[in-house]
Amino acid sequence: MTNRKIGRFEVSALGLGCMSLSHGYATPPSIDEGARVLNSALDDGYTLLDTAAMYGFGANETLLANSIMHRRDDFVLASKGGMFRDDQGQRLIDGRPQTLRTHCEASLARLNTDRIDLYYLHRWDKSVPIEDSVGEMARLVDEGKVLELGLSEVSADTLRRAHAVHPIAALQTEYSLWTRNPEIAVLDACKQMGVAFVAFSPLGRGFLAGGVADSAALEPGDMRVNMPRFSADNLAINLGLLNAIDTVAGAMSATRAQVALAWCLAQGDHIVPIPGTADAAHATENWGALDLHLRPEHLALLNQGINQSTVVGGRYTPAFQAEIDTETF
């Protein structure tokens, strides 16, 4: 198994995104099943677990606390603040220093731990200078509540501004065969600056693994219902993209998910994909990607078949796109 570096930490080259255990994809698994997934992943060898205050409005952090905190030394714990809910229960991005401190301290209590190993600004609140938000996060580091800092969904320019205030250990954003925006600037910026690039949704929110064949089958409350590339018309076209993955999977005796993850891992040794799942068997299947080494002709076939020019539909609606800072084609 190949490990990769995030700040002071050496972590498994694949991490586990924990969001789907509590949030985002309609009905989450039971608490008992979520606990089983988490413990099974640790048994597989995952040593980076990624959660956030936003996931289930605290429910995901509480799940981790009740399920695996007795194994605290077995994994690097990542969480995020700066996005939660307002007094009316609506999602709110707030990067003011006092809010970030409040979020962090609430996360520590929910997680039942004395430190968060990697703490991200979940979204940059564009009404607050990034220097002010990161400055307060740096004070949390000074106090030992947080060990390393990260940013989520920001541009290369914002990363550089933040890094000038305090070293940034990781930048997290969506990256996969069908989401190539990081290739515009942040992948190279991270490599140049010694910042780990943490790729969320490396399986295209399940699409690249063959998990979404019919938009009508998505449950109400599933975030993909409102994502343009999952609309009925767009999905019907995008399903043809899986042919390239199937060709490679057949040649390598691998699954679609393993091929998509192996592609992501091959894009740089500073990249740590964090596929999420609510199924322990899928987490184990994903782990098998670490043993899959794609040949140059396989990488070329995948890159030609699935890229920003062949995918139909955007990542987000215009309203959600306006909330993030990442570069776009």
Q: What is the DSSP string of 24-65?
A: SBSSPPPHHHHHHHHHHHHHHT--EEE--TTTTTTHHHHHHH
H/E element, 103 = helix 97-111
Q: Which of 46, 55, 119, 120 is catalytic?
A: 55
Beta bridge partners of 91: 85
Identity of residue 34: G
Q: 3-class secondary structure for 218-246?
A: CCCCEHHHHCHHHCHHHHHHHHHHHHHHH
Q: How many CB atoms lie within 10 A of CB 87?
A: 6
Indicate the pairing of strand 196-200 with strand 170-174.
Answer: parallel
DSSP classification of residue 276: B
120 is catalytic: no
As annotated, the active-site residues are 55
